[in-house]
Chains A and B, each alone.
Chain A
Amino acid sequence: MLKDITLGQFLPGDSPVHRLDPRAKILLLIAVIVFIFITGNYISLALVGVFIIAVILFTKISLKMYLKSMKMILFIVLFTGLINLFYGKGEPLVQLGIFTITEAGINNAIFVTVRIALLILASSVLTFTTSPTDLTDAVERLLKPLTVFHIKVHEVAMMMTIALRFVPTLLEETDKIMSAQKARGADMDSGNLIKRVKALIPVLIPLFLSAFRRASDLAIAMECRCYQGGSGRTRMKTLHYGKIDAYGAAICLVLLTGVILCNIFLPATVR
C-alpha cells in the first residue's frame, strides 16, 4: 500500500534533466508553475503544455510513472474541474435545474483541469529526476539567505535528510510489528472503519516507542561524530551551476516570451 506512492520517488538516470543542478531545477520549476498560471488563452496554455511534455520525453522515464502520479490526484482534478463547470457568468448554454453551464464555465473547467494536471506533471519531473539528498541540499542552499531572519535553515534541511533516511527503516519496522501483532491474533483487515483504526493502535504505540529509541541513539551517534550544528560545517559535494543550467534557463526564458506574446496579441479566454 505504502509502496505505491510515486510522488517524491527518485528514478535514477542520465538524461540532461537529471544532470541539471538541483537548485536550477527547483528555480525553473517555480518559473514554469508561474507560466502555467499566467497563461490567458488556449494557445499559450498549449505552449506550456507542449514544453512540459517535451521535458517529460527528455527525462527518458517511462510515461507510465507519470500517469501513476496523476492517478493519485485524478479525483481532485476532476472534481475541481466539475465545480468550475458551473461557475461562470454569461449566456447559459445548458440549464440543469439550479445548475447553469455557460461558455465561460466550460473554459474555466478546461483551464483549471489542464493547469492542475500540468502542475503535477512538472513537479513529478523534479522529484523523479532529483535524488532526495540533492533536493534537501538544494533547498538548504537556496534558503540560506533566510538565515538573516534567524530561520534555522540548516537544521530544517538536516531534519529533512534524517526523515528521508528513516522512511524505509520505519516502513520495515511497521511491517514487522504488524506481522508480530497478527501472529498474536490481531485482526487488522476486517470490520468497519472505526474498528480498523482501533486495530492500528497496537501498531502505532510500539512504532512510536521504537522511533524515540532510534532518535536517542541517533543523537548519540551524531554527537560522537562531532555534530555541532550548521556553523563551521563543510560539505563534500559542492554544487556548481554549469552550461546545461544556462541552457535550461534560456529555454525557459524563450517559453516565457512566448506566453507573454500570446497573452498580449491573442484575446484572453479566462481572466
Chain B
Amino acid sequence: MEDFIKVENVSFQYVSDVEDEPTVPVNVLKNISMEIKRGEFVALLGHNGCGKSTMAKLLNAMLLPQQGKVTIDGLDTSDEEKCYDIRKTVGLVLQNPDNQLVASIVEEDVAFGPENLGVDPKEIRIRVDEALKAVDMYEYRTHAPFKLSGGQKQRVAIAGIIAMQPKCLVLDEPTAMLDPKGRDEVIATIKKLNKENGITIVLITHYMDEAVQADRVIVMNDGAVLVQGEPHEVFSQVELLKRHRLDVPQATELMYRLRGRGFFSGVEQAQLPLDSDECVAVIDRIFKQKQAEE
C-alpha cells in the first residue's frame, strides 16, 4: 500500500497573543514525521496538549506547517490553490457535535458540504441519501438536530463530511462528549466506513478500547511520536507507556499486573490481551494447559 498521508519533519508552535502575558512560544509539534497508508485505520493517542489536535488540523490544511511538509495524496498542503481540494479529500470531524451542524434540518445539514462544492442539485440529493444511509441515520433525515442524541448528532456530522466523498476521515476525539451507547454507535460507523467504503481513518482518541480496534496505533508524546505499530506491538510496551503516564487497555493492564505477581508467566509480553474477549481466551487457555499438566 502506498503512503496516502505523509508528514515530514513538521514543527509547529503557537505564540500566545493574550496581552500582559509573556509571549513564550509553545512548541506543539517537534520535528514529527508519520505516514498513513491508503485504506488504513490509524488511531492517534496521547495526552492532552501533546499536539494531536494540531496534527488533525495540519492534515486538512486548516493549519500549515511552520517547518517541514505535509502531503495528502500527492498534494502539498501549503499550496493555497489546492486548499479546497485537500479539504475535500480529507474530512475533519470535531469533538462537539452541537457546534458542527449548520442547518436546522438533518438532510439540509448533510447537503451543506456538497452545496459548497457546487455539486448539481440532483447529485447532492443522491449523495445526501447515501451518506445518511452509510451512517444509519436515513430515517431521521427530516428531523431537527437538537432533538437527536449526542451519538446521532455526531453520526450526522460524519454524514456531512461523507457527502463530500472524501478519501480520508480525520476524527478529533469524536466520542469525547458522548455516552457509552453513542460512543459504540460512532465507532461502529467509523469501522463500517473503513471496511465497506474503503475510507482511510485517522481516529484521535483518549479511549484505549477504541484504539485497540485500529490497524495501527501511533502514540504521541510532547509533540513527537513515542511509539507506533500494531495494537499488540504498542500496548505490550507497558513499561514505556506507564513511564509517560499513558494508559493501556484494562485487559492488558490486568494481565500485566498478574504476570508481575507471578501468575500467567506462560504468557509472552507481546501476546498480552487487548480486550476482555482476548483476556478470557488467554485465561481459559492457561487453565486448560494447567489441567492437562496435572
A contacts, CB < 8 Å to B: 131-133, 161-162, 164-165, 168-169, 172, 213-214, 217-218, 220-228, 232-238
Task: Given A168-B146, A220-B62, A221-B94, verify A234-B115 contact (CB < 8 Å).
Answer: yes
Interface residues on B, range: 35 or more
Residues of A within 8 A of B161 (CB): 224-225
Q: Which residues of A contact B116 (CB under 8 A)?
A: 225-228, 233
Query: When the two chains form the complex, which single residue of B104, B105, B107, B113 contacts A225, counting CB atoms closer than 8 Å?
Result: B113
Main SS of the interface on chain A? helix
Take A228-B116, A234-B124, A236-B115 as given contacts and tell me if A165 and B87 are in contact as well, using a CB distance cutoff of 8 Å.
no
Partner of B108, one of A162, A214, A236: A236
Task: State the Cβ distance, A227 to closest chain B Cβ, in Å.
Answer: 5
Contact (Cβ within 8 A) B125 A236: yes
Answer whether residue B88 sits at the interface, using C-beta atoms and an 8 A cutoff.
yes
Contacts of A235 in B (CB 8 A): 111, 115, 121
Let me know if B120 is at the binding interface, CB within 8 A: yes
The digit string for B180-216, where 1 denotes a CB below 8 A from any CB of A, is 0000000000000000000000000000000000000
Q: For residue A222, which residue of chain B has the nearest CB?
A: B102
In the complex, the chain B residue whose C-beta lies closest to that of A224 is B92
- Given contacts A168-B144, A236-B108, whether A214 and B115 have CB atoms under 8 Å apart is no
Q: Please, how many angstroms separate the alpha-carbon atoms of A234 and B115 in the complex?
A: 5
Q: B103 contacts which chain A residues (CB < 8 A)?
A: 133, 161, 165
Question: Given that A169-B98, A221-B100, A228-B116 are known contacts, is A236 also in contact with B121, CB under 8 Å in the complex?
Answer: yes
| Residues on B facing A (Cβ under 8 Å) | 60, 62, 84, 87-88, 91-92, 94, 96, 98-105, 107-108, 111-121, 124-125, 128, 144-146, 157, 160-161, 164
**Are A225 and B112 in contact, with the CB atoms below 8 A?**
yes
Q: Is the CB of A214 within 8 A of B98?
A: yes
Interface of B is mostly: helix
**Distance between Cα atoms of A81 and B179 in the complex (Å):** 56
Checking B60, B108, B111, B124 against A224 with a beta-carbon cut-off of 8 angstroms, the contacting residue is: B60
Residues of chain A within 8 A of B99, CB atoms compared: 213-214, 217-218, 221
Shortest distance between the CB of A134 and any CB in chain B (Å): 10
Q: Report how far A213 CA is from B117 CA in the complex, Å.
A: 26
Expressed in whole angstroms, the Cα–Cα distance for A217 and B120 within the complex equals 28
A-B CB contact pairs (8 Å), 15 listed: A132-B104, A165-B101, A214-B99, A217-B94, A220-B94, A223-B87, A224-B60, A224-B92, A225-B112, A225-B161, A225-B164, A234-B119, A235-B115, A236-B111, A236-B114
Cβ B160 vs Cβ A225 within 8 A: yes
Q: When A and B form their complex, which 3 residue pairs have the shortest distance between CB atoms, in order from nearest?
A: A217-B99, A236-B111, A221-B100
* Complex Cα gap A227–B124 (Å): 15
Beta-carbon contact of B113 and A131 below 8 Å:
no
- State how many angstroms separate the Cβ of B89 from the closest Cβ of chain A: 11
Kindly list chain A residues whose C-beta atoms are within 8 Å of the C-beta of B164: 225-226
Is the Cβ of A226 less than 8 Å from the Cβ of B121? no
Shortest beta-carbon distance, B114 to chain A, in Å? Answer: 8
Quick check: B118 and A217 within 8 Å, CB to CB?
Answer: no
Please determine whether B91 and A224 come into contact, CB atoms closer than 8 angstroms.
Answer: yes
C-alpha spacing A222/B62, complex, angstroms: 11
Chain A residues lying within 8 Å of B98, measured Cβ to Cβ, are: 169, 214
List, in ascending order, chain B residues with CB within 8 A of A223's CB: 62, 87
Cross-interface CB contact of A226 among B84, B108, B146, cutoff 8 Å: B84
For the complex, what is the distance from the CA of A59 to the CA of B69, rounded to whole Å?
Answer: 61
Are A226 and B102 interface neighbours, CB within 8 A? no
Q: Which residues of B contact A131 (CB under 8 A)?
A: 105
- Interface centre among B92, B102, B118, by most chain A C-beta atoms within 10 angstroms, is B102
Bound-complex Cα distance A238 to B111 (A):
13
Query: Which A-chain residue is minimally distant from B142 (CB atoms)?
Result: A12
Does A165 lie within 8 Å of B84, measured CB to CB? no
Kindly state the separation between the CA atoms of A214 and B111 in the bound complex, as whole angstroms. Answer: 21
